[in-house]
Amino acid sequence: MKYVLIALFGFVYLIGIFTVKVLDKVLPENLRQSRSHYPVLILMWIFTPILLVMFIGYKLRSTINN
């Protein structure tokens, strides 16, 4: 069970990395050259998977309860 949770955690953060890379390509060049670009990418990498898991958990819980 422990290894399944670790693998799931790793997979979710890989989704976060993919999301950050895709969103980074869409940003205009002047925003990519900004000093705050990398801290924002790090925050996105941390919070995107957390929000994704929370959203999926909410949908599953609402589906099960109804």
For residue range 20-39, list pLDDT tens digits in order.
788 778 878 777 787 887 88
- Mean pLDDT for the stretch of residues 40-53: 80
- What does the pLDDT read at residue 30? 78
Greatest extent of the chain over all pairs of C-alpha atoms, in Å: 48
Higher pLDDT, 19 or 54: 54
Domain count, the chain: 1
- Structure tokens given for 25: 């390509």
Higher pLDDT, 65 or 2: 65
19 and 44 Cβ atoms separated by less than 8 Å? yes
Does 14 have pLDDT greater than 80? Answer: yes
Range of the structural domain that residue 23 is part of = 2-65
pTM score: 0.51
